């Protein structure tokens, strides 16, 4: 409507000023054509499209353009421990049997863990499969958040989980209790297996922080973000991991506590990025400003999140934030260019330069200018493909050199595209000026011819 108004006013002004109908119509049409807001309309969606494409290429599935935009303003990172900071496929490093044989222990544990989607269930099931053990179906499976699980197997009560769980479901004799406590103190993650009211044995699981997670946390800290770990695990295990990473933590939190932590940060005005993998993370993922799930995590976490890290690499979360920032910057540049074109060309189309310099615009060139402004917005958005997400594997010297070379060629590409953009804009402006000045000559002739012919008639 504003544009229509401007076009009408320009039309009326020139008509009243006595420049004739065709001149005024020409001006009106030029204004309408030139102010077509295609570039303004394209600025955001094109950048988001290129951005989400780039993210997907890097194993980051962003479910909406909005999430990508939101990532740019994140200032607090909340991380789950098991499966997010620690390996998604932990290893069993030791098996201790109290009663029965080792295979029996593994079979009981795996039969129950088959029902679970927890990362700690995976190595036990894998071990059972490796040994081709026959697994039985359990009944009354119950996941106990932050502790483990209980079920019945062949009429007997089974429990698999940490010391807290075992202490809760069994009354252990002094000696067994001391052995179990010692095991739990010496190893951060121990999975105890109880069956028929007795402790059958335990697995020591290497649930250590991954190298990728360490790097990611350091990068987040370098970006001046507040990094906090929220874990359902016990204080001991939590403190060890948090101290290793040098971050704050909250241990023993239930799913609803993770959720209320997120809400607490949100209410204090912070923009939270929550990364998690488990069932217990789902409410928090939904509540967070941006929720991100580990690809190998549970379905419900993936469902609740705004983005998924397909490669299960926490460094991709850093990459996603960087990409979000780049996308927002790009959108601003695009809006600037789109706005700039309109700000320059609308007055030109209105003919403000006609009286002082005789410069006027032909609607045809106006439409060319508009297409060009859209082209430059699209080209600028495509530049997002050159953003470095910083997850290049540099395991050895050779690949380091390769990465450096890649970065160099990327920089060169970048320069080429920028110069192409500038050249296109420059050529276009020169072209416009020369054509427009030619054209205003034509316009000057029309009134002359008109005057001449009317004279002749007289």
Residue given tokens 């039309």 in the structure block: 11
Distance in Å, CB of 189 to ligand ADP, minimum: 5
Interaction between residue 150 and Mg ion (CB under 5 A): no
Active-site residue flag, 277: no
User: Which residues inside 158-197 make contact with Mg ion, applying CB under 5 A?
Assistant: none
Out of Mg ion, ligand ADP, none, what residue 189 binds, judged by CB under 5 to 8 A for its kind, is ligand ADP
User: Which residues inside 273-292 make contact with Mg ion, applying CB under 5 A?
Assistant: 277-278
Give me the residue whose beta carbon is nearest to ligand ADP: 232
Contacts of 376 (CB under 8 A, 6+ apart): 39, 337, 421, 424, 425
Out of Mg ion, ligand ADP, none, what residue 146 binds, judged by CB under 5 to 8 A for its kind, is ligand ADP
Interaction between residue 81 and ligand ADP (CB under 6 A): yes
What tokens does 60 get?
């980051």
Q: CB-wise, 121 or 135, nearer to Mg ion?
A: 121
Distance in Å, CB of 116 to ligand ADP, minimum: 4
Interaction between residue 145 and ligand ADP (CB under 6 A): yes
SS3 per-residue string spanning 217-272: HHHHHHCCCEEEEECCCCHHHHHHHHHHHCCEEECCCCHHHHHHHHHHHHHCCCCE
User: Which residues inside 52-91 make contact with Mg ion, applying CB under 5 A?
Assistant: 80, 82-83
Give me the residue whose beta carbon is nearest to Mg ion: 278
User: Which residues inside 218-247 make contact with ligand ADP, applying CB under 6 A?
Assistant: 231-233
Q: Any idea how long the chain is? A: 458
From 42, 285, 257, select the one nearest 146 (Cα to Cα).
Answer: 257
Interaction between residue 147 and ligand ADP (CB under 6 A): yes
Interaction between residue 160 and ligand ADP (CB under 6 A): yes
Choose which of 26, 35, 150, 162 interacts with ligand ADP (CB under 6 A). Answer: 162
User: Which residues inside 239-298 make contact with ligand ADP, applying CB under 6 A?
Assistant: 278, 280
Q: Are 396 and 430 in contact (CB under 8 A)?
A: no
Sign of CA pseudo-dihedral 423, 327, 85, 298: negative
Q: In what order do the strands lie in the sheet with 248-250?
A: 60-62, 307-309, 290-294, 272-276, 76-80, 226-230, 248-250
Cα distance between residue 438 and residue 362, in whole Å: 10
What tokens does 398 get?
């050779």
Q: Which residues are catalytic?
A: 80
Q: Rule CB under 6 A: which residues touch ligand ADP?
A: 80-83, 113, 116, 118, 120-121, 145-149, 160-162, 189, 191, 231-233, 278, 280
């Amino acid at each position: 409507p504003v544009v229509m108004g401007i076009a009408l006013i320009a039309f009326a002004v020139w008509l009243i000023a006595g420049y004739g109908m065709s001149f005024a119509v020409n001006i009106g049409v030029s204004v309408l054509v030139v102010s077509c807001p295609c570039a303004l309309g394209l600025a955001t969606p094109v950048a988001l499209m290129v951005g989400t494409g780039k993210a997907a290429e890097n194993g980051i599935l962003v479910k909406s353009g909005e999430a990508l935009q939101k990532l740019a303003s994140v200032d607090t990172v909340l991380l789950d421990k098991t499966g997010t900071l620690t390996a998604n496929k932990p290893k069993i490093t030791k098996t201790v049997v109290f009663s029965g044989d080792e295979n029996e222990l593994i079979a009981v544990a795996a039969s129950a863990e088959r029902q679970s989607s927890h990362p700690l269930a995976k190595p036990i099931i894998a071990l059972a499969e490796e040994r081709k053990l026959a697994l039985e179906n359990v009944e009354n499976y119950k996941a106990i958040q932050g502790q483990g699980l209980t079920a019945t197997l062949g009429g007997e009560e089974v429990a698999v989980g940490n010391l807290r769980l075992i202490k809760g479901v069994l009354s252990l004799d002094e000696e067994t209790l001391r052995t179990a406590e010692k095991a739990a103190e010496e190893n951060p993650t121990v999975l105890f297996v109880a069956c028929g009211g007795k402790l059958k044995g335990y697995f020591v699981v290497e649930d250590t922080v991954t190298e990728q997670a360490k790097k990611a946390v350091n990068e987040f800290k370098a970006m001046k973000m507040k990094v906090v770990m929220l874990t359902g695990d016990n204080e001991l295990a939590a403190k060890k991991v948090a101290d290793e990473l040098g971050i704050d933590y909250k241990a023993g939190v239930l799913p609803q506590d993770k959720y209320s932590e997120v809400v607490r940060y949100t209410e204090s005005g912070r923009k939270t990025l929550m990364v998690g993998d488990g069932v217990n993370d789902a409410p928090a993922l939904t509540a967070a400003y941006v929720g991100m799930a580990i690809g190998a995590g549970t379905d419900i976490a993936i469902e609740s999140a705004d983005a998924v890290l397909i490669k299960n690499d926490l460094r991709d979360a850093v990459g996603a934030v960087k990409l979000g920032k780049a996308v927002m910057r790009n959108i601003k540049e695009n809006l600037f260019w789109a706005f700039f074109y309109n700000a320059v060309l609308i007055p030109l189309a209105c003919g403000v330069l006609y009286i002082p310099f005789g410069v006027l615009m032909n609607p045809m060139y106006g439409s060319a200018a508009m297409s060009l402004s859209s082209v430059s917005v699209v080209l600028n958005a495509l530049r997002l493909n050159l953003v470095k997400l910083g997850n290049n594997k540099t395991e050895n010297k050779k690949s380091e050199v390769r990465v450096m070379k890649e970065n160099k060629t990327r920089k060169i590409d970048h320069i080429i595209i920028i110069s192409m953009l500038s050249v296109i804009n420059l050529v276009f402006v020169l072209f416009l000026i020369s054509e427009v000045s030619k054209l205003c000559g034509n316009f000057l002739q029309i009134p002359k011819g008109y005057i001449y012919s009317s004279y002749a008639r007289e």
